[in-house]
Every structure is written in structure tokens, then in C-alpha cells.
Amino acid sequence: MAHISEIDKEGFSIINNVFTENEIENIISLIENKTANNPENSTFRKSEDLFAIRQFHKEIPETLPFIFNENLQHIITSTFGEGFFITKSIYFDKPEKSNWFVAYHQDLTISVDKKIEINDFHNWTVKQNQFAVQPSTEILENNFTIRIHIDKTTKDNGALKVINNSHSKGVLRIENLDFENEKETICEVEKGGIMIMKPLLFHASNKTTNNERRRVIHIEFSRQELPLGIEWSEKLEFSVSQVK
């Protein structure tokens, strides 16, 4: 499959037609029901420019049978192998008139259950009793992210833009990236499609300019055990039997 070599070489790949219209509508319905009935939930973040649900797979587990359909299961196992589990998930809703933008960055932190002193784990933060830390580069290099697109995403409503192959450079300060000699790609994805990316890939997104909504479910995966004393705080193992 072409996307396997593309992920290795470029750090990302786009696969359309992973979800049916019916599966997407079921996911949307479950999200809308949850948010309507729990407006003050502490894992919800709401502003004029962005609505987000942290720990999405824990907050709305009813979506999992639709998310982990046969297509996505096959893509994960054929691309990365067996034994992966969810380590983090966030739902993003960028409204039609959003001025929200995100500058170029790498995804350098993971969510864990507590803070302890461990070699190669640093830059600790905590928000709403959720601990985040930058782990060893090896852990980041072996994880991957899948972004499920609930709406068609284009350059005009905040599609991600990435620096091709930047994931191969390790952890890097943005000022050390030679933009003049790098290739930038705008990652447009159809409704019901996905984008797979590596955490160390430099990525950013622009403001919305066409008054079209952009909703994405961002899910991070790993199959690595953490050092003794800490655990993935959002860990969820999944299989066909578990989610159906």
C-alpha cells in the first residue's frame, strides 16, 4: 500500500473514503447529544474560535464502534502491526468564522497518570489534573496519530499544513528548521477521510477564510510500555470485539 511508504518517507499520509456517510452522521449525533446534555463538563473547552473535547474516547465511548470500523482496523494493523492502544484523543470543532490558528510545532508530550522523576522525561505540565510530559525521543518516534475528518477540510477552513519529512530530524527547535529548503504540503482531506501522521512531523493550521466548519477527531496511538512508576493516563486497548 502506497501510504505505508509515504508515512515512512514524508511523515504523513491521507486516505479518503474510510468512513461512510452513515458512520459519520452517527458520530456527529453522539457528539451533539453529549455536548447538549453536559455543557459544563470540565473536559470541554469552548470559545468563539474553537470547541474541544479532551479525553474524547472516555467522554463519548459510544462513538468507538463507528470509529473503529473494519476499514480503520485494517489500516492500523496493515500499516503498523498489532498491539497498539489509544493513548490520547481530542475532538476539535473549528467554527465557520474561526480566527483560530496554530503555528508550526511538533507533538512532543504524552499524557500520564502522575509526575515522578524519570531519566529522559522532562518539561512536565499539569492541566485539570492531567499530567503531560515530554518522553524519550524513541517513544515519540514509534507512536502515530490518526485524524478523522468529520467535515471536508481544505486550505480555506484550516487544513493542516506540514513540512514533509521533518519527522526524520528528531526533536528540533523551529528556528533550526531551514524553511527555504523544505517542502510544505497543505493536507486537504475529504469528509470521512483520515490523515495519519507521526508526532515529530512539523505541522500548523491557518485561520478559516471560507465560512466552512472543520471538525476533526485526533487520536494518538502507541504500543510501548512506560517506565516503571507511571502509566498512560488515557490508555485504552481496542479490538474488533471490544468496539462492536
Instruction: Please write the tens of the pLDDT for every residue from 82-112.
Output: 999 999 999 998 887 777 789 999 999 999 9
Is residue 128 very low, low, confident or very high in pLDDT (cuts 50, 70, 90)?
A: confident
89-103, 119-133, 164-178: range with lowest mean pLDDT: 89-103
Global pTM reads: 0.93
Please report the pLDDT score of residue 242 as a whole number: 46
- Nearest one of 161, 168, 164, 160 to 181, comparing CA atoms: 164
Please report the pLDDT score of residue 40 as a whole number: 62
d(CA 232, CA 130): 11
Answer whether 203's CB lies under 8 Å from 71's CB: no
User: Do strands 130-134 and 122-127 pair parallel, antiparallel, or not at all (unpaired)?
Assistant: antiparallel
Task: Domain ranges for the chain, please list them.
Answer: 2-106+145-243
Instruction: Please write the tens of the pLDDT for every residue from 42-62.
Output: 567 666 556 889 999 999 999
Is residue 41 very low, low, confident or very high in pLDDT (cuts 50, 70, 90)?
A: low
d(CA 28, CA 19): 12
Extended strands (E) in 64-193: 85-94, 102-105, 110-112, 122-127, 130-134, 144-149, 160-163, 184-186
Q: Which residues contact 61 (CB under 8 A, 6 or more apart)?
A: none
User: Per CATH, is 2-106+145-243 categorized as 3.30.1460.30?
Assistant: no
Instruction: Please write the tens of the pLDDT for every residue from 24-36.
Output: 999 999 999 988 7
